[in-house]
Amino acid sequence: GGDWQLVWGPGVYQILPSSGKADNTAFVVYSPSQDTYILSIAGTNPTAFLDWLVEDFEVGPHMLVNWPYEGSQPPVTAPKNPIRPQISLGTAKGLYFLLNRLVQATNAPHPNLTLGQYLSQLQSKSSQSRLIVTGHSLGGALAPTVANWARLTLSHGSAWQGKIYAM
């Protein structure tokens, strides 16, 4: 698989653009020989405000968001519900920022598409196409959530069913 090519991004989100600190970063690559897309999400930036105070610490019984969360609007907290799937507010905000707020360079492959828009229009190239979502640290925590969002968004009755993975 030495044929990986950048197909989206890299995208960076800064809650305070004047800070010069990346709060969230991600990119998507594709290998034609493996018919595989990989979405890679960066880990916690130890100097970034958003990572620590929002995405890492907004957890607890009063900071929950109902799942599935569709991701196109900022998340809204919901009362704790032991019979309904829920995720932490911090994780929901991380998903929202990744899908909607990453800014790409003008020479990126799809600079006018958000990550959410890019993934939503992603077409399976064959019956073997796969999407693998991975990350480290904060990216490792967000990867299964993004993969689950993609599973719900992309695979409903499509060729992606059963071909979206989190690592």
pLDDT in tens, the chain (167 residues): 699 999 999 999 887 777 778 888 999 999 999 999 999 999 888 887 666 667 767 788 899 999 999 889 999 999 999 999 999 998 999 999 999 999 998 899 999 999 999 998 887 777 889 999 999 988 998 999 999 999 988 876 678 888 999 99
pTM higher than 0.75, yes or no? yes
Widest CA span in the chain: 48
pLDDT in the model for residue 52: 66
70-101 pLDDT tens trace: 889 999 999 999 999 999 998 999 999 999 99
Which residue reads 């929002």 in tokens?
54
Take residue 165 and report the two structure tokens written for it. Answer: 């993975």
Q: Cα dist. 142→5, 7, 95, 124 in Å? A: 23, 20, 7, 23
Residue 119, classed as helix, strand or coil, is helix
CA 153, 159, 157, 131: dihedral to nearest 10 degrees? -20
* 106 phi/psi in degrees, rounded to 5: -65, -20
pLDDT in the model for residue 75: 96
d(CA 71, CA 131): 18
List all residues 6 or more positions away from 104 whose beta carbon is below 8 Å from its beta carbon.
Answer: 8, 9, 10, 11, 12, 110, 111
Half-sphere exposure of 34 (CA within 13 A, CB side): 15
Q: Where are any strands of DSSP class E within the chain? A: 5-13, 24-31, 36-41, 64-66, 86-88, 103-104, 130-135, 164-166
Q: Using DSSP bridges, classify how beta strands 86-88 and 64-66 pair: parallel, antiparallel or unpaired.
A: antiparallel
